[in-house]
Structure 1
Amino acid sequence: MPSATPGFELPLRLFLAFRVLIDELHAELARQGHPDMRPMHGFVMQAIGSRGTTAVDLGRVLGVSKQAAGKTIETMERAGYVERTRDPDDTRRKIVRLTPFGVDALARSARIFDALRARWAEELGQDRLEALEDDLRKVTPEGLWRLDVPGWFGTM
């Protein structure tokens, strides 16, 4: 028997839930001293990681061009989240690294996400939230870190 809910509503509700969490995260980050953080910056920071990366590798991981990655790096550099340094193994290459300010933003993001999850557990009930998470694990690939969302959406 067909559902009374149209099929297109499921992806829109999932995306809307994502959007609600991300908007609340960024509002709190702004209150905590990171008003220049944007949703895409989280993907970029995760792709840079603790060891740093090059603009070419960053673009590949994010699924965008080197030029798009470079433009985002420039924006994040101006905001103080990343810095470019020379690669000690190849002085022609530049490595993009997180600054202490960028690391702070990631640490605060993790704590804020924990608080948002706790609020959802309070609203929905811990058991229902855990069941939702379990169900989402059943219908999604095992790896959490699909950082190519910027390229998948087609813009950065």
Structure 2
Amino acid sequence: MVDSQGKVVSSEADLATVVLSQRVEGTDVPRLAEVEAKEGEIVVVVSYGYDEVLGGLEGQRRFKAFKAVRVLSSEPGQFVFEQPDRGLFKGDSGGPVLVVHEGKSRLGGISTAALGEEATFVSTYFHRDWIAAELERARRLE
């Protein structure tokens, strides 16, 4: 929900599922995280957006490790991650956030980083029941 100035007032989860009619060649889909990210844990944000710090790089995929700083008390299943420069991931909302558990990278969340706002991600683990239901519904459509 946004206010009259377009600022987010409340959000339950910044998640969606997209069902493709065929697999995209040359892509690997990470498995969902089997455990929740923890405060202080390193997460890897994958991004394609404009990078003001490095001077561009629009459309080039890059990976950057950050620390998950805290869970937002007002938004269950949403983490704040440290961001050295607020403009670093301009336009990267919706990108994957990977957590490493037992040496394996897993999809732990979806970036909701926004310029001028705290850098956050929505936990896929927290919403795993909804995601599983959506995947099952997509299987039934095949």
Q: TM-score, normalised by structure 2?
A: 0.25
Name the larger-Rg structure: 1
Which one has a larger percent helix, Structure 1 or Structure 2?
1
Which one has a larger percent strand, Structure 1 or Structure 2?
2
Q: TM-score, normalised by structure 1?
A: 0.24
